[in-house]
Amino acid sequence: MFRFIIALCAVATPGFADDAVVESVNTRADGTGWSFSVTLRHDDTGWDDYADGWRIEDADGNILGTRVLHHPHVNEQPFTRSLSGVDVPEELKQVYIRARTSTTDWSTSRVVFDLVP
C-alpha cells in the first residue's frame, strides 16, 4: 500500500505546476509593425516543465502575435524574448499579454499593456 501512495504522488505532481508570470513588456512601433519584448519568470525545471511561449491579444482574445519558446530557461530567470512585425490595428490602445507553459497551457490571466506610438 505504501508504494502505491508514493507512485500516486509522483504522478500527481505536475498538476501543481505554476503559470509563467509576465514581469514586463516593452514595445515600439516602426515601419514594419510593432515590436514586443516580454520578460517572463517561471520555475523552469527542464524539458518537463518550462515557459514555452507568450502571445499578444486584443480585448476580445483575438491573437495578434505569438512567440514560441523552444527550450527551457532553467538558469536564466527572468528572461526576455522579442517578437517583431506584429500587426496591431491602429484603433487599439491596449493589448494583452498571456504566457504559456508546457504543463499548464495558456494562462487564464493576462497582463494589460497600454500602447504608446
Q: pLDDT digits over 57-105, tens only?
A: 999 999 999 999 988 877 888 989 999 999 999 999 999 999 999 988 8
At residue 104, the 3 state secondary structure works out as coil
Spatial distance between the Cα atoms of 85 and 30, rounded to a whole number of angstroms = 8
Domain that holds residue 8: 2-114
What is the predicted pLDDT for the residue at 53?
A: 92
Q: Are strands 94-101 and 79-86 parallel, antiparallel or unpaired?
A: unpaired
Q: What is the pTM of this model?
A: 0.80
Task: CATH number of the domain at 103, please.
Answer: 2.60.40.150
What's the mean pLDDT in 109-115?
Answer: 93
First to last CA, the chain: 63
pLDDT digits 0-9 by tens, 40-56: 988 888 898 888 899 99
Burial category of 75 from C-beta neighbours within 10 Å (exposed 0-12, middle 13-18, buried 19 and up): exposed
Spatial distance between the Cα atoms of 100 and 20, rounded to a whole number of angstroms = 6
Number of domains in the chain: 1
CB 17 within 8 A of CB 104: yes
What's the grid cell of residue 91? 484603433
What is the predicted pLDDT for the residue at 117?
A: 64
